[in-house]
Amino acid sequence: MIWKDAGREKRSPGRTGWSAKTSRSQRPEAPLSGQCVITREIAVAEGVFAPGHLGELTQVVPFEMVDEVLAECGAVQQRLRKLPARVVVYLLLAATLFEECGYPAVWRKLTGALEALPLPRVTATALWHARTRLGVRPMRTLFDLLRGPASAVRTTGARWAGLLVVAIDGTYLDVADDTNVRARLGKGANQYTAASGYPQVLLIALVACGTRAVIDAVFGPRKPGEPVLGRRLLRSTHQGMVVLLDRGFATNAFLEAVAGTGADFLARLSAVRKPPVLHRLDDGSFLSQIGTVHVRIIECEITIATTAGCTTGVYRLATTLLDPHRYPAFELVRLYHERWGATRSRTRLSELPDRRIDLMSTA
């Protein structure tokens, strides 16, 4: 049963847990020709499980999925606590939405609409211990269930010439300057962050350019670098994809590994690399070879106009798309420039270093 009284939220037990409905009407001093009522219904679980929901996102990550993952990983709580394992999973998911908040603030946001329910009071220490008990494996398993391109056939920009357009990109995240963390990660500076005194974790992701959905991601130390750590992402590349790569990934070994999965690539080479010209093509590109991979090289100049002026850069692109009639050089240059720029500017990967966000935990 759902009922309301003067806009105050009430609750009643139902088949799937607690159900609440809120009502808000127009103020009496500003009457309308007819009464305007806005209602919102929230269904949550009972008791200590009530905070385990994320509104509409709970439909994407339903309770049943989380419970199955916890059972598979052996992470279900042995006794009922104030913070059951399921609730901790949703707490961590919420933390990704409110990344600038600490865990207590995230908890308040997670329970903000449940004031009428008898929720347990938890401390920051309790939240930390609950997260530690949960461990990494359930979140990794949940990610593996949910990750993917998430694109329909008609999604704008998802495909080019029948190929799913994806990109591999990396960034560095500052982590807590803890003794154990320092011992494993060390310290170092790079050109993207001013927080050179903090240990850093390297994050590399495989992203669908059309939807900007994360298909796969890996974390690791700064060394031995992006091309080595990035090879773990190749488990998710396959025939029917074209992978956009920046200069940092355009090593012989990495390009050979990408081609070995059946996926095509379009990679920018560094200025110092000058592959041999084996055969000139009519569109100005030429056939060459990088390692054991037969490639096509496209050289071009791209001018970028901004409020600060115009800058012109020389691009040398290498691709396994060898047919100049099916894959014209100009179209490949535009694909790389537009899609790579869109991916870099619109995904969280490109925003993280500029915002100087530190990871919340050391575990």
Model pLDDT for residues 17-57, shown as the tens digit of each residue: 444 443 444 445 555 555 555 555 555 566 667 676 777 77
pLDDT for residue 266: 96
pLDDT for residue 110: 82
Listed residue (168, 36, 58, 185) closest to 113, CA to CA: 58
Q: Convert the pLDDT of each residue in 231-240 to its tens digit.
A: 999 999 999 9
pLDDT lower than 50: segments of the chain: 1-27, 153, 195, 345-346, 350-363
* Single-letter amino acid code for the residue at 37: V
DSSP of 214-279: EEEEEEEESSS-HHHHGGGGGGG--TTEEEEE-GGG--HHHHHHHHHTT-EEEEEPPTT------E
Alpha helices in the chain (DSSP H): 63-73, 85-97, 103-110, 124-134, 137-146, 179-185, 226-229, 252-260, 329-346, 348-355
DSSP code of residue 119: P
pLDDT for residue 95: 87
pTM of the model: 0.70
**Cross-strand bridge partners of residue 18:** 13, 44
Q: How many CB atoms lie within 10 A of CB 154?
A: 7
Q: Which two tokens stand for residue 87?
A: 């609730």
